[in-house]
Structure 1
Amino acid sequence: MRMLLVEDNDELAETVLDRLRHEGHSVDREADGEEANALLRHARFDIILLDINLPGRSGYEVLRSMRSRGDSTPVIVLTARSEIDDRVVGLDAGADDYMVKPVDFRELSARCRVLARRRAGASSNLFTAGTLRFDRAAKLAFVSDKPIELRAKELQLLEVMIDNLGRMLTKEEVADKLYTFRESPSLNAVEQLVTRLRRKLEGTPLVIKTARGLGYLPYVSDDE
């Protein structure tokens, strides 16, 4: 998943970034509320992890600004404020979830998966299509019960395609979902990544169709 962490505590931010990136997610970070709000006006993420006590603009203000613009990106508020009233304010402002620091990273990962499943319309971490099986929690894929060796970016791409079945994705959208701003990949790199994943999915019903000039259309074929 492509995530944005908005957190001004450098030590905590590095810990969260290391954990999420180790799990295969692409994560950018902002430490200032005003800068995060400006970024969110033009950049799109799958999930936002949002602190409340931020310089420039509070997390609540960032959240209210997002929702007023019609931005429905899932948001998990991460804060030291544990009072019920604070939780109510956060949820009423438009947060999808609320976690009190210090967070358990296993729980944080699980809650991120719940929001990702909800947005994709899935009820389980397990995706199955014919001979293909993908476990979102374990980050493992199998074809005919045999594990597929997938690199980190290939796993991310597989998850992106599964979460967008039947929807045309431009190469730019795919790149935005896979890479942080620091990585700046070429569209050729995206093409090569799709080609490698296609090769590893041969014989399964999951098809990634290239539409010239448009992008990629992932779907499950009835012919397999």
Structure 2
Amino acid sequence: MRILIVEDDPAIAAAIGGALEHSGHAVDRIDDGSLADHALKDGNYDLAILDLGLPGLDGREVLARLRRRGTGLPVLVITAREGLNERVGVLDIGADDYLVKPFALAEFEARVRALLRRAASGGVPEIRIGRLRLNLPGRMAWIEDRPLALTPREFGLIEALASRPNRVTSRAQLTEALCNWDEEMTPNGLDIAMHRLRRKLAGSGARVRTVRGLGYLLEEGEDE
């Protein structure tokens, strides 16, 4: 999934960003509140990690503007501000969770998984298409009870498709979901990953259908 980290401490941003990338997520980093506000208007993210004490624009205002736009994007606030009134106020503005620095990386990762699980599946622990079973937050897949081995890029593809049920996902959306700002993916690279994913889905009762001129659709069925 695609995650935005808004944190002006380089060490913290590097630590949590590295952990998320190691789990297979695409991660963008911003260290300024005003830039974050613009990114959240234009970007297509699955989760935002938001510090409060930011240059440019305070994190509370970034969050308030996000919610005024009617966006339901999950937001995990990470901050050194630990007073009860501060926590209550930020949750009331619209944060989904709140973590006080310093925190254990394992707890951070668990909270991220919980928020992504809620957002991706609407509370449903697994997505099932044909005989294919997907656990998006856990980044696991099975064909019936047999584990399906997918590379991070292959899982990123099926994750992007499964997160948009019954809707076409364009090539641009797939590329955005798979790459950080500082990475590039060639059209050939996307085609190779798609070809390998389709091969691994053989016999699963799920297929990736090409909708000519529009993109791709994950649906029940077998490739011809």
Q: TM (normalized to structure 1)?
A: 0.90
Count of matched residue pairs: 223
Unmatched segments (≥5 aa) in structure 1: none
- Equivalents in 2 of 1:220, 1:103: separation in Å? 42
Shift of 1:153: 0.9
The 1:62/1:16 distance shift into structure 2, 3 A limit, reads same
Alignment of 1:135-146 (within 5 A): 135-146=135-146
1:53-112 Cα offsets, whole Å, 9 max, x none, are 011111111111212223321111111112121111111222111111223333322322
- Residues 163-205 of structure 1 deviation map (CA, whole Å, 9 limit, x = unaligned): 2221111111111111111112233322322221111111112
Could you tell which deviates more after superposition, 177-186 or 48-57?
Answer: 177-186
Q: What residue in structure 1 maps to residue 134 of structure 2?
A: 134
Q: Does the 8 A contact of 1:169 with 1:215 survive in 2?
A: yes
Q: Write the letter of the residue equivalent to 2:120.
A: A
Q: Is the Cα contact below 8 Å between 1:113 and 1:125 reproduced in 2?
A: no
Distance 1:160 1:103 in 2: 30
Alignment root-mean-square deviation, CA: 2.1
- Answering whether residue 185 of structure 2 is matched by residue 202 of structure 1, we say no
Paired amino acid for 1:23: S
Going from structure 1 to structure 2, the CA distance change for 1:75 and 1:4 (only over 3 Å counts) comes to: same
Question: Where does the alignment leave 5 or more consecutive residues of structure 2 unmatched?
Answer: none
3-state SS in 2 of match to 1:41: helix
Query: Aligned partner of 1:42: which letter?
Result: D
Q: Using the TM superposition, name which of 65-74 and 199-208 deviates more.
A: 65-74
Partner of 1:43: 43
1:59 and 1:220 mapped to 2: Cα distance? Answer: 42
Q: 1:121 to 1:22 in 2, by over 3 A?
A: closer
Question: Match for 2:51: what amino acid?
Answer: D
Judged with a 3 Å threshold, the aligned counterparts in structure 2 of structure 1 residues 32 and 217 are, in CA distance, closer, same or farther, namely same
Report the AA paired with residue 114 of structure 1. Answer: A
The structure-2 alpha-carbon separation of the partners of 1:109 and 1:11, relative to structure 1 and needing over 3 Å to count, comes to same
Query: Shift in Å at residue 125 of structure 1?
Result: 4.1
Matches within 5 A, 1:182-221: 182-221=182-221
Q: Is the 8 A contact 1:165 1:220 kept in 2?
A: no
Structure 1 CA distance for aligned equivalents of residues 103 and 221 of structure 2: 41
State the identity as a percent.
39
- Paired residue secondary structure (2:208): strand
Asked if the contact 2:5–2:48 (Cα under 8 Å) also holds between the matched residues in 1, the reply is: yes
Distance 1:166 1:30 in 2: 33
Deviation at 1:15, TM superposition (A): 0.7
CA contact (8 A) 1:80 1:101 kept: yes
Distance 1:134 1:113 in 2: 14
